[in-house]
Amino acid sequence: MIILYKAPPGFGLPSVSPFCVKLEAHLRLAEIEYQVKLGSPKNGPRNKVPWIEDGATVVADSQLIIEYLVERYGDRLDGGLSAEQRATAHVLRRMLEEGTYWVGGYEHWIAPRGFAHYSAAMRSKLPPLLGWWVMKSIRKAIRGQLDAQGTGRYSAAEITALGAADFRALATILGDKPFVLGDQPTSIDAVACAFFAGIFWSGFDSPIRNAVEDFALLEAYGRRIWQRCFTDYPLPAAP
Ligand SMILES: N[C@@H](CCC(=O)N[C@@H](CS)C(=O)NCC(=O)O)C(=O)O
């Protein structure tokens, strides 16, 4: 049985890490059995979450894990896709993971509204001084990552615009289809719902929501995937 090591659940989501939510959504959509253990990045083979153990095999990185699962169990989600659909999924995934992820990092850890929400929730679980110190340290580390990656060099308004452009592109590719590539969920839907949830369902209101014209379409899409894999993590009522 596969053991999934993930960052803990939080803010009503299966994990505070969108990469862990992506992988868990994928496992559930592909109907692959697994057990969960909580893991800290510092114990992971690449110093990041998630990673898995499958008997003696250890694989780290959500996408390398998915490639391993495809080899071991067959391509249960993407087997019927054309080369063009696979390319669309690849481009969209890279946008969400390498671009939108950092917008989310800014929204949670740097933007005052997100950080106030995150730190109040985290600090309620720790003694006050320790909670303050932990949040300050994580915020400092994430600010460093955001500066190194580049998103941290933009203004708040520019970061909102970048995030809105990403979700607008997702909405355009989705169009009136139930899932990104057609009538059935594929691996890209696990990615999209994870990054959507991280920004819009973590319990604080992101300004990106109002900057995306087709937001209602995306919200309905996110809920459609969520219903297929995370009924044990009920979402707040639709606005
Ligand atoms: N490419 C990796 C990214 C994983 C990742 O960035 N995980 C974050 C949590 S969302 C992490 O472990 N960060 C800890 C750190 O960078 O120190 C994947 O797909 O698994």
**Which residue's CA is the nearest one to ligand 1's atom 1?**
61
What mean pLDDT comes out for the span 154-163? 98
pLDDT for res 49: 98
With 90 as the cut, is the pLDDT of residue 216 above it? yes
With 80 as the cut, is the pLDDT of residue 231 above it? yes
More confident residue, 124 or 174: 174
pTM confidence score: 0.97
CATH number at residue 40: 3.40.30.10
85-95 confidence digits (pLDDT tens): 999 999 999 99
Is residue 202 within 6 Å of ligand 1 at its C-beta? no
In this prediction, residue 239 has a pLDDT band, given cuts at 50, 70 and 90, of low
CATH number at residue 129: 1.20.1050.10
**Which residue's CA is the nearest one to ligand 1's atom 19?**
62
Strands 2-6 vs 51-54: parallel, antiparallel or unpaired: antiparallel
Q: Are 92 and 120 within one domain?
A: yes
In this prediction, residue 126 has a pLDDT band, given cuts at 50, 70 and 90, of confident
Choosing from 73, 91, 123, the residue where a domain stops is 73
